[in-house]
Structure 1
């Protein structure tokens, strides 16, 4: 049996895509730093910045999901499933 894929309209799609483009650029920068034998600590600082940026994207998506998808599911009497799904995602994010 094929599972149906859920979709949604991202209310902050443009901002999220812009952040992800910046992250892509940072990753390419780290690639160049390693190729050019840059100092390890400088590379680690850039990796830390990327991890922080990814966390911000995750939190923005989590906030949008909570305000829209979860709120709508609660209004539509499917709140328990939406909350369980939200908690599963939060547990995965904090591993």
Structure 2
């Protein structure tokens, strides 16, 4: 398993994939546009969160690869960085 196939990332993407399949079904059934738009927004947010998780994990992985194990204060700073990404 590479750092890009972490269980968290795969779970997020599989949930988004399943949810998207339900949206396709909603369109085929002629459900109302507001409901479909709300569900599309939820999938878009899920994919955005998966993207952030991938990028942050990538940064941490290569940082550790370059410097060795990260001290706890560095991990705390990375956690802060991860927390602020929700405002992007």
TM-score (norm 2): 0.67
Hey, what does 2:27 align to over in structure 1? 34
After TM superposition, where is structure 1 displaced by more than 2 Å over at least 4 residues in a row? 72-75
RMSD, aligned CA: 2.4
Q: Whole-Å Cα distance in 2 between the matches of residues 21 and 58 of structure 1?
A: 13
Hey, what does 2:84 align to over in structure 1? none
Contact 2:4 2:58 in 1 (8 A): no
Q: Which has the higher contact order (CA 8 A, sep 6+)?
A: 2
Contact 2:23 2:36 in 1 (8 A): yes
- Structure 1 gaps, min length 5: 1-7, 76-93
- Structure 2 gaps, min length 5: 68-87
Q: How many residues align?
A: 69
Q: Whole-Å Cα distance in 2 between the matches of residues 65 and 10 of structure 1?
A: 7
Q: Whole-Å Cα distance in 1 between the matches of residues 52 and 38 of structure 2?
A: 21
Cα gap change, 1:37 to 1:11, in 2 (>3 Å): closer
Cα gap change, 1:30 to 1:11, in 2 (>3 Å): closer
Hey, which of these two has a bigger chunk of helix by percent?
A: 2
Secondary structure of 2:3 counterpart:
coil
